[in-house]
Amino acid sequence: MDQQDDIPFCPGPDPATRKPAFEMPLGACDTHFHVFPTGYENRYAPDRSYTPPPAEITDYQHLASTLGLERGVVIQPSVFAEDNAATLEVSAANPERLRAVVSVTKEVTDAELEAFHAAGARGIRVNVVDSGGMTFPTVDDAIAFTARIADLGWHIEFLAHVEMFEDIGALLAASKVPVVFGHLGYTNARKGVDDLGFHRFLGAFREGRTWVKLTGPYRISNVDGPPYADVQGMADALIEANPFRLVWGSDWPHVRQPGFMPNDGALLDMLSYWGCDAALRHQILVENPALLYGFPDQRG
């Protein structure tokens, strides 16, 4: 592989995954993990922001088993751009337990979208932050594309700093499918709940106009290690605003994390730290992802 010297290599995840402190509900889902299988290095985008560590599905399955996660959603990472082969290989191999979110361009054909759906895809990802992830000319173009995936029952997921959208309401109103935002909205905790842009986003979220992933608190925190106390206020605000539109994800294998590497058990325990009791954890880990990704609902 032609590796550019200025593209940083990422450290691997903590291999000593510990169990969460609470009992996991039946059908719990990790809505955000990536795979970087050995042999796919030549598919990495040359203009990527990072070079990931090898991350095999077998490694992830061990983590999921340790944590008590029965379902998962493999998310297309920016380093693969719109080459979804590795992502869909994983979801297609386990259709009962796994789904996928892919990246596409406007040139993708309807036949390709149907094939992606058959392989487990249930949404498209638009990463406006990392090189390779923005496969549309503009955010407006990505929103316009949602008309093509509406009949599939898909959604659109953004990795974007939500406070940067001056008219978040108009963006959400223009989408023909549900809109999902990762990393608690990706607003730095230094700005926090008092930030005007985050307030705009929180209002739309409260009205049920979007979904939020409780992923990557370490990506918005300015504290080096769990429980990322400076994220508490934002998490509390989101949970109070609309617990029926929240899902949780590990963000394994935690690429572009140069500092302290969090244990995935500790990240799962953040739900309790944020005040989620057993009923609310069931809502976030089981019921909400079942609705968003089309898993059979499991209650009890």
Residues carrying an active site annotation = 251
**Strand 29-33 with 155-159, pairing:** unpaired
Burial of residue 66 (number of CB atoms within 10 Å: 0-12, 13-18, 19+): middle
| CB atoms closer than 10 angstroms to residue 190 | 10
**Is residue 159 within 8 Å of residue 142, measured between CB atoms?**
no
- Give me the residues paired with residue 36 across strands: 55
Structure tokens that stand for 274 in this block: 């944020």
Dist CA 84 CA 92 (whole Å)? 12
